[in-house]
Amino acid sequence: MAGLIDPKERIAALSVEQLCATADKPFAGVTDPLPLMAKPFGNLVEAPDNLYNLGLLLGGLRLGRTMRVLDFGAGTCWLSRCFAQLGCATVSVDPSPAALAIGKRLFAEHPPIGGCVAEPVFLRFDGRRIDLPDGSVDRVVCFDSFHHVPNQRAVIAEFARVLKPGGIAGFSEPGREHARCAPSQHEMRVHDVLENDILLEEIRAHAEAAGFTELVLKHSPDAQTLVPWEHYRLAAGGGKLRFLRPRLLFSLFRFHRQLFRWLTARSIFLLHKGPFVPDTRNAFVAIGGDAGVGGARELRHRLTAEQREIRGRHGAAVRLRLRIANEGTVSWLHDNIVDYAIVRLGGHLLRADGSTVDHDFLRCSLPQDVPPGGAVALEAAFLLPEPGQYTLVLDLVSEFVAWFEALGAEPLRISLSVD
């Protein structure tokens, strides 16, 4: 039996360019790409692990609709399509032209329901540089791809370069002894690919050197670890500890052993580029539930105006100067690839009896993003309506999401007397 292939020897023997070339071979020979296009539901063997690991990864990425996600090692772009279905703008990056061609076919023949928020981008990776400007993506995702990278330090530095401040790089990869398992040895021996170990201590050092500020693991017990009903009943208060203590302790031992094996066999982790500050794209994770979590507490404003009463003639132009302060925990976006989650000043025009004349009487764009604790000055211009007594109710709106008043913020009321 041939000896074990050391991935470090493979890295020393083959150049980055050679390893990029070998990445194309498995896809170039595909005659029926449909099973690859069907992932994560391509087959019943892989689907449970793919969905389980993807769920953990999604839970740590803190995504928001319209965020720009770089799918690194995208292969046939099935994961890119999943992100597009979630409302993200996607950039699929892979060294294999054949794989990207299948990905383009996937998007063309099976587009996300409702379409894409932005035209998907497909980029060939040369093994060294990602062809994107600095600070141009919100998230980077590696799903079973980073263990093929020979120059991990350089690629992590590229992730840090293309990520915006506060961005996150998320990884779902095999573990510490991946290279030694039989399938990995077979792939390296037959196809000249790299099947490397994922050593988090090395990755953490590379990440710190690149400017990442934190590495965190997203873990959960092995999906195959089953909890007996009697132990659940005991934990939930439905049993007495003295009757089940020996069996419970043995079960806990097995549980922790399985957890340790899972943590070393699978690496689901995230690199943070600075502190995470939510913006209006991901401020509504818990809307519909507790308003104090992800809802009203996060979107708060204070509106002040030079005038609280305005008198004039019908059709006269009015310019109302305002100061708008962000007293919440969410950064307000003033621009986006589409209008979704852009924050604007809005106004409802009401009659003296409180009935609505025009719910969307006024819309004004903010001049810039406004972080928590920040403020902007704004001039709202409008024409006075037909003669009468009115109230102009000023509030902020996160477009296609919610008015701040609906989440507990206090609007500003301006009296209009029109001759």
Query: What are the residue boundaries of the structural domains of the chain, listed by start?
Result: 7-272, 301-418
β-pair type (266-272, 343-351): unpaired
Amino acid letter at 84?
A
DSSP state of 124: E
Q: Which tens digits make up the pLDDT trace of 57-87?
A: 998 999 999 999 999 999 999 999 999 999 9
Sole residue written with tokens 């604007």: 344
Q: Which tens digits make up the pLDDT trace of 112-137?
A: 999 999 999 999 999 999 999 999 99
In sequence order, the β-bridge partners of residue 326 are 301
Q: Which tens digits make up the pLDDT trace of 8-34?
A: 988 998 899 999 998 898 898 899 999
Q: pLDDT class for 295, splitting at 50, 70, 90? A: very low
With a cut of 90, say whether residue 298 has pLDDT above it.
Answer: no
Give the mean model confidence (pLDDT) for residues 194-203: 92
Domain 301-418 annotated CATH 2.60.40.10: yes
Cβ(132)–Cβ(91) below 8 Å: yes
With a cut of 90, say whether residue 277 has pLDDT above it.
Answer: no
DSSP state of 88: -
Cβ(204)–Cβ(267) below 8 Å: no
Q: What percent of the chain has pLDDT over 70?
A: 85
How far is Cα 74 from Cα 122, in angstroms, rounded to an integer? 9
Distance of alpha carbon 351 from the chain centroid: 43
Quote the pTM value. 0.85
Domain 7-272 annotated CATH 3.40.50.150: yes
Sole residue written with tokens 């007397």: 417
Q: Which tens digits make up the pLDDT trace of 339-370?
A: 999 999 999 999 999 999 999 999 999 999 99
Sign of CA dihedral 113, 117, 119, 124: negative
